[in-house]
Amino acid sequence: MDFGLEDADLDFRRDARAWLAAHPVGGRSARDWERELGRGGWIGLGWGDGTYGNRTGTLTQQVVWGEEYARAGGPARIGHIGENLLAPTLIAYGSAAQKDRYLPAVARGEEIWCQGYSEPGAGSDLAAVRTAAVRDGDTYRVTGQKIWTSHARDADHCFVLARTDPAARRHHGLSFLLVPMRQPGRIEVRPIRQMSGTAEFNEVFFDGAEATDVVGGEGNGWRVAMGLLALERGVSTLVQQIGFEEEFARVVELAAGSGVIADPVVRQRLVDLWADLRTMRWNALRTLGAGDDPGAPSVAKLLWGRWHQRLGELAMQVRGAGATTGPAAWAPGSYELDDLQRLFLFSRADTIYGGSDEIQRTIIAERVLGLPREPR
C-alpha cells in the first residue's frame, strides 16, 4: 500500500527538490527560514485555493513536499504549529475576519504560534484546565499557567484553551482564545531545561493577558479543541516517519560499522524496528485524509512514541561504552551531545507529551471500542 504518483506529482517533486537545493538553510535563523519558505510559497499547501497567499497542493503533493524536505535535511520548523494546527482550525471554525487577519501572516512565515493546552496538575486531562478568561467588554483577560508549551519563546501568538464560565465543569464553559504573546508584565515565559540540554518546552504564565479573538464562539472551546487534535495525523505523520527512517539508517550503519550487527539479538531488534516502521507508514496511509476516525490519532501516537524510544535505546546499546562520552570534552557549563545521544534522551518524553500513552489507550477504549468510561 503506497502512493501512485501522477505526472503532476512527479513535476511537483522536481520543483520541490530544485527549490530546496537552491535555498540551503546555511546560517539562517529559524525565523528567517520560515520567511524563506513563505516567499517560496511552501507554507500552507493543504489550505485550499491559495486565498491566503499559499501555494496549493493535493494531498499527495503535500506528502511529496514533506518527503523532499526531510530528505534534504530541512531543519525542525518553528512555524509548524501555526501552519498545521492553527490554520486548519481557523479554516474550519474561524470567522472571515480571523482568517484574513492571521492566515496570510502564517503563510508568509512572519508570525509564529504556540499551543496553550497543557497545565500543571492536569496532565493530559485537557478538560481539567483552570486557566480563566474573564470578559471585559470586547476583551478577555486571561489568567493562569500553561506548561510544556513548544516554541513559546519564539511565538508571536498563542491559541489558549481557557475557562470562560467559572460555574461550568469539565469540557463545558471553555473557549478557544487567540492571545498575543508580546504583553510585557502580563505574560512570562520560562524555558524548561531537559536532560538533553535543550529547552524546546516552556512554562507560560498569564496575568491578565488580553485577547480579543475567540474562535468558534464563547463556550465552544471544547469542540474546537477536539477538532484541532484530530488534525495531528496524516501528512505530518508521514513526514515524521521520513525522519525516523533516516535515524534508523544511522543506527543500522553504526551497528554494521562497529560489528555489533553480528549479535543475533541486535539483528532481531533492528528487524523488529524496521517492520514496525513499515507498519506505521501503512497505518498513516490508511488514515490519510480520514476525518471520521476518532481513534486514528491515538493509534498513531501509540505506535510512534514507543517505537522512537526503542530506537534511542538500541542506538545506545550499539554504541556501547562510547555512549557515555560526548563529541567534546565535558566541563562545567558545557553539555554537548551528538545526534544519537539527543535522540535517546529526548525520546523519553515521546510517550508523555501530546497526550500520554495511558490517555491514548483510554480514548481508544471509550471512543472506539465503546468500553465503560473511566471512573472520575
Are the C-beta atoms of 71 and 22 separated by less than 8 Å? no
Of the residues 36, 188, 218, 232, which is catalytic?
232
Are the C-beta atoms of 159 and 115 separated by less than 8 Å? yes
Distances in whole angstroms, Cα of residue 127 to Cα of each of 161, 170, 290, 349:
9, 5, 25, 22
Q: Which of 216, 127, 219 lies closest to 173, judged by CA?
A: 219
6 as an active site residue: the answer is no
Single-letter residue type at 98? Q
Give the contacts of 333 (CB within 8 A, at least 6 positions apart): none
Q: Which of 135, 114, 122 lies closest to 214, judged by CA?
A: 135
* Burial letters 47-71, b for 16+ CB under 10 A, else e: beeeebbbbebeebbbbbbbbbbbe
Are the C-beta atoms of 225 and 176 separated by less than 8 Å? yes
Q: Supply 89's cell numbers.
A: 482550525
Active site residues: 232
